[in-house]
Amino acid sequence: MIKLYGNPYSRANRVRWTLEEAGVPYQEENTELGPEGTRSARFLKINPNGHIPVIDDDGFMLYESVPICLYVARKHSPDGLHVKAVQDEARLLQWSVWAMTELEKHIETASLHVTWLPAAARSADKAASEQAEVKRCLGILGEAIKADGHLVAGRFTAADLIVTEVLTNLVHSGVNLGEFPEVNRYVQRHLSRPAAKKAFAGDILKPFLA
Ligand SMILES: N[C@@H](CCC(=O)N[C@@H](CS)C(=O)NCC(=O)O)C(=O)O
């Protein structure tokens, strides 16, 4: 059985959701952030970067959330979450990498300056410029899903899952998804899936499903 090192308020959510969608049995070891968890001597042997998520698939250890999702999708849901055609696979990678290097980067920095940093360390200018970047990304995403509501192969794939999971963090960034109705519907539709309801803590889903 796959072992997932994670916790419900971390990037492990995208992995847990992938496992639920693929119907793969797994066991999660709740791993807190910090010296007792991700930075403990025991965990640093599991992932020297000191980060969750990590999976242990019968001795095959893998860290980095997006490669983990794509590995699980390819292995357990090759015609569902994953895709067959080479160009579809390239698109799947494109959106998965975009989610991390464009969208998530700006959501994370905006959230630091809106929510997570101590008030004295926040910069209103930085928050505003990062929020503008997030909105630019949401505009790109809105255009991409306009045709059929999906990013790749005309159906729900790991690309939609990863992008949607990244967007659950928007609530801390001060960007209102209501300004992007197409993207809002996209997120609501995907977070309403039965596997998403099993994968996420209720307070994460609540702002999107209310
Ligand atoms: N690029 C990594 C980032 C992982 C990451 O930053 N994880 C955070 C939780 S979401 C973490 O483990 N932080 C704990 C620490 O840095 O000690 C991934 O996507 O898996």
Summarised one tens digit per residue, pLDDT across range 123-175 is: 999 999 999 999 999 999 999 999 999 999 999 999 999 999 999 999 999 99
Is any ligand 1 atom within 6 A of the Cβ of residue 33? yes
Could you tell me if residue 192 is inside a domain?
Answer: yes
Tell me, yes or no, whether 71 and 171 share the same domain. no
| 186: confidence class by pLDDT, cuts 50, 70, 90 | very high
Vertex 56 angle, CA 54 and 60, to 5°: 115
Q: Is the peptide bond before 118 cis (omega within 30 degrees of 0)?
A: no
- pLDDT over 90 at 50, yes or no: yes
Q: Quick check: is 25 in a domain?
A: yes
Distance from the alpha carbon of residue 27 to the mean position of ligand 1, in angstroms: 19
CA-nearest residue for atom 2, ligand 1, is 64
pLDDT for res 210? 72
Instruction: Indicate if 41 and 100 belong to the same structural domain.
Output: no
Residue 21 has pLDDT above 90, yes or no: yes
Question: CA-to-CA distance for 109 and 126, rounded, in angstroms?
Answer: 8
Q: Tell me how far apart the alpha carbons of residues 107 and 111 are, in angstroms, rounded to a whole number.
A: 6
* 39 plus 101 within the same structural domain: no
Q: Which domain holds residue 150?
A: 86-198
What pLDDT was estimated at residue 182? 97
* CATH code for the domain in which residue 167 is found: 1.20.1050.10
Beta carbons within 10 angstroms of residue 109's beta carbon: 18
How many CB atoms within 10 Å of residue 167? 28
Nearest to 107 by CA among 149, 165, 180: 165
Residues in the chain, total: 210
pTM above 0.85, yes or no: yes
Q: Is 52 in the pocket of ligand 1 (CB under 6 A)?
A: yes
Specify the residue for token string 């020297």: 48
Three-state DSSP at 27 gives strand
Q: Tell me whether residue 209 is in a domain.
A: no
Query: What CATH number is attached to the domain comprising 51?
Result: 3.40.30.10
Q: Are residues 69 and 100 in the same domain?
A: no
Distance from residue 191's CA to the centre of ligand 1 (Å) = 22
| pLDDT (average), residues 89-105 | 98
User: Does 24 contact ligand 1 (Cβ within 6 A)?
Assistant: no
From atom 16 of ligand 1, which residue's Cα is the shortest distance away? 51
Is residue 203 in a domain? no
